[in-house]
Chains A and B, each alone.
Chain A
Amino acid sequence: MTAVLEISNIRKNFGGITAVDGVSFDVQEGEILGLIGPNGCGKSTLFNCILGQLQPSAGEVKVDGKVVTGFRPSDLNRLGVSRTFQLLQVFPKLSVRENLILAGQEHQGNMLSRLLGPSDAGLTKAAEQMIDFFKLGHLADEAAGGLSYGQQKLLDAAMAFMGGPRLVLLDEPAGGVNLTMLGDLKARLAEINREKRATFVVIEHNMEFVMSLCSRVVVMAEGKVLAIGTPAEIRANSAVIDAYLGH
């Protein structure tokens, strides 16, 4: 296995506060890695440093062996790195189908061909497949803003896969999603991982979701890595139990 993502000594300071403090880990191809820790421990800040939304104060990020530290999010996306956000980030006025087409269109041709080519950038079929895959078929023509929270979460996740990414970083995908939809979401993620060999990093507080989906888990506390291991090892780790999981 080769590392798709390598993070070395990432640090992020906000004034006098160090939100992420020398974090290092690798993510192997085809792996689903969980990233857990108490609120405010720096998980989302680390995501933002990896994805170019924030400039790390120190450290290095590599994707497929290439240094991408400080790359813009759009450049990283075109390299095959996609993400979802902690809060809902769909485009409320566009329909479900248009949201998905938008999510994939920048991977089709160049700017000129996108202007002169078909209005759907040739993505209607791919969008329909994604809609069916995420069981949103009955909502395809509805404005995304009119969907329930859980449905928007599914759409948000579906959008992350439209560009055919190699690496997807999911920030609390299960937050606010009901149990039925959560099961659907987990099944969909596992299927994409299995069939497309897509690599995931998942931030999540739902322990059942993380422990059953991920093959390895990184635990963060106060900006640092507290432990890395399989779900069973993490469950048994006394430092993790004390800092996060509880007795």
Chain B
Amino acid sequence: MNFLKRYWRVALGMVVIAALIIAPMYLNRYGLFILSQWAVMTIAAMGLNLTLGYAGQVSLAQGAFVGIGAYAAAIITANGLPLIAGLGVAIVLCFAIGWILGYPALRVQHHYLAFVTLAFSTLAFLVFRNESWLTNGIYGISNIPRPTILGYPTNRPLPFYYVCLGSLALVSLATWWLIRSPWGRAFVALRENPVRALSLGIDTRRYTLMAFAIGSALGGVAGTLYAPLTQYIDPVPFNLSLSLDLLMMVIVGGSGFFFGPFLGAMIAVLLPEWLRFTQGYYLMIYAVAVILLLIYSPSGILGILDRYLTERRTKAASALRAVAKSGLEPAP
């Protein structure tokens, strides 16, 4: 029993990972596409969660970074280079642009910063649409190849789903490392109290820029997978509504929680599909469900769980303190 109590999280994680590996073997093409899209959007939302959830910097530009990554991958693979080269270019490009986009955050915050990033999002969309010499404009780029990894082609939906899942696993591990490192703690300090953070020697300028750059680079990683997933890209999927969708994923899942983007992307990508049996009403039901959730728990789904666990911990600690004061022996 104690063993189960101690390791239930590990056990639950193993079950989820096993399900993510085995269950898709029995899904059709469309199911695999949706699940791959969930993995890709989770990566993009993890990037935004880092910028917004952990470091507290509002961004409405994450969709644009997915677009930059997607175009980088599409252009590079269309020129016969491997996807890994596209990934490298996307990461460097998005990191650099994200770093530059972080500079306004050193001067403005909250909705002012949101407007700055919104303007960048619009600018990126205009580049995708108007710079036809590079992006092929409104006609988009088609026949984007899927990669061959260690001699295995991933043209079919199931192998490519595993590429997306594997990428999600790698990004998750890297993000987990980052948020548990002193950098992650500095990001939280930046969000909760930048003045105090500065007085403790935390270089808030550098961490703000890093939060933007790393979050944007993850958007680029997601875009690099999005292009070969759909095998055709045009500017429309990367307009402002993608940034708003990603923002919703982070907030609904639980901003500032590691697993928030996983849940948020699940709700944003999978829930509308599951609600299709309601036919014309599915988007309305979906919208009402999101509104109700945010009224009940502004900190998202994981915020509910966090509140419950915090209350339980506080009660237990208070009880222990009371026992210690009374001089009684605590129950085993």
| Interface residue A77 (Cβ < 8 Å from any Cβ of B) | yes
Q: Tell me the number of A-to-B contacts counted with CB atoms below 8 Å.
A: 91
The answer to whether B182 touches A115, judged by C-beta atoms less than 8 angstroms apart, is yes
A12-20, A60-68, A88-96 - interface stretch: A88-96
| Interface residue A39 (Cβ < 8 Å from any Cβ of B) | no
Q: Mark B186-197, 1 if CB is under 8 A from A, else 0.
A: 101100110110
- Cβ 8 A contact of B321, one of A85, A106, A138: A138
Main secondary structure, interface of B, reads: helix
Smallest CB-CB A-B distances: 6 pairs: A77-B201, A106-B201, A89-B196, A114-B182, A105-B182, A73-B198
| Interface residue B178 (Cβ < 8 Å from any Cβ of A) | yes
Q: Mark B159-192, 1 if CB is under 8 A from A, else 0.
A: 0000000000000000000101111011011001
Report A-chain residues with C-beta under 8 Å of the C-beta of B155.
Answer: none
Measured between alpha carbons, how far is A178 from B310 in the docked complex, in Å?
27
Bin chain A's interface residue count: 35 or more
The answer to whether A72 touches B198, judged by C-beta atoms less than 8 angstroms apart, is yes
- Cβ 8 A contact of A115, one of B181, B201, B313, B314: B181
Chain A 157-211 residues near chain B, CB threshold 8 A: 159, 162-163
11 CB-based A-B contacts, threshold 8 Å: A53-B195, A72-B198, A73-B199, A77-B198, A94-B185, A101-B185, A102-B182, A102-B185, A108-B182, A114-B183, A138-B324
Bin chain B's interface residue count: 20 to 34
Name A's B-contacting residues (CB within 8 A).
51, 53, 72-74, 77-78, 82-83, 85, 89-94, 98, 101-103, 105-108, 111, 114-117, 119, 121, 138, 142-143, 146, 159, 162-163
Report B-chain residues with C-beta under 8 Å of the C-beta of A116.
Answer: 181
Chain B 280-332 residues near chain A, CB threshold 8 A: 310, 313-314, 317, 320-321, 324
Report A-chain residues with C-beta under 8 Å of the C-beta of B195.
Answer: 53, 85, 89
Question: Whole-angstrom distance from the CB of B183 to the nearest CB of chain A?
Answer: 5
Question: Whole-angstrom distance from the CB of B77 to the nearest CB of chain A?
Answer: 31
Question: Whole-angstrom distance from the CB of A146 to the nearest CB of chain B?
Answer: 6
| Interface residue B206 (Cβ < 8 Å from any Cβ of A) | yes
